Structure 1
């Protein structure tokens, strides 16, 4: 098995011989191969589990407010602590994967997040639930920080856009399914049971991910020296355009998540007086993102 990272297709000189091109095809995973299908399906499952676990709590926030006697802002902490710890974990799990490998970090992240979700359904106190949610966010950073790096290293450059689009499509389905499943279930069962169901589904997705994702072939371990970690972090701010993209994502996602956090309170009250199951069905708008992610990734 070759371990050297192959050059990008556009970096191969025009005079390169057929052996060099053949070597490129041997190292990279190409569209249409069984390995490509396994990779896309595995990352699809990983993205599904990540966003289902992260956002499954949004439809149940009004119910949590009633059960624990807390207001809407306090109830939203069940999502905020998870996303906050996920953001913090991105600074840690990425460098760890540079040292020990992509797949081990992602597999451990998914299993840990699923088990913490199951544990959160058994917590007797609000504080206990928040602690488990913080651990879930920290765990999920191990997939969010590493998945696209894995794809960029293993997928042929011509097909990276499609592969990443399909991965983001899995994110969209996960975000929709997590909200939809819990939004419908809590009209019939307790929120504890709904969380247990989501945790079980994520555990199955983690097992599928572990079994079918191909091992890295182009990964090369890097140092965990603090200086190299700092250089890797500051590098992103030396480009004039990247900080603006970071800001744009922060504002758009912040507004988007906040809308879904509180819209349930509004629709359950007068003058709408909708049932919880109909509020949960709002997540079907995610279906448009499933198509657009794959299509735009392919066009890019």
Structure 2
């Protein structure tokens, strides 16, 4: 009986020694304060993430697997709205999917390995907080044994936004834009039309006003002025300007068009020279 007790004691000691010699501490963090929106590539959102792993070299896992709730496509949801997303490496390559392991991110030899969550078209989607959850697990180099798992919440807050494009102008600005447009050679009783496109993911207020209260001013003689009429979608713009309200779609991006029209009266007695005015277009998303 004493021999049996001795054998059991040795077995417990060996098991304890093996376990303490191979500790692995790890975590996955999404850096929500470092989200990047790219205006190229359909205004994609990039959420940076980092996998932190500390272990002795002989016990270090070679990869981490991300499991997406039984799906092969990552989705961020807000009510009935959803955004498609994908997991990519730090150098922007898609992660490979392996059955029973999920989307596999190879781990570097350093304590941290960076990756991205890419969300195409995010910036032009309906505003609000989109959320999801992925499950992360460490993968052993040689076995497929059951490993420690962590649930990682994913969230992306899309702000209301608006931007404008003016015909014949390469300039573009979000929230607020100021444009100087060339009307060409001025002639009596002529009119000039300039299309303006408003792109938004919410309802929008557009304020249009003339800096010189609807007057073209001679650049060489400030006292020489030519009055003109300014219209936006056939509504007269005078004095402090006029605000036009545009309704946005609750589920998608909206494209609204405004037509600015400049009308001149009789200018045959105006002094020769170059004339200029600045029309201010302010776009505010609600």
TM-score category of the 2 structures, normalised to the smaller one:
under 0.3
Q: TM-score w.r.t. structure 2 length?
A: 0.21
Higher strand share: 2
More helix by share: 1
Q: TM-score, normalised by structure 1?
A: 0.21
- Which protein has the larger Cα radius of gyration, Structure 1 or Structure 2? 2
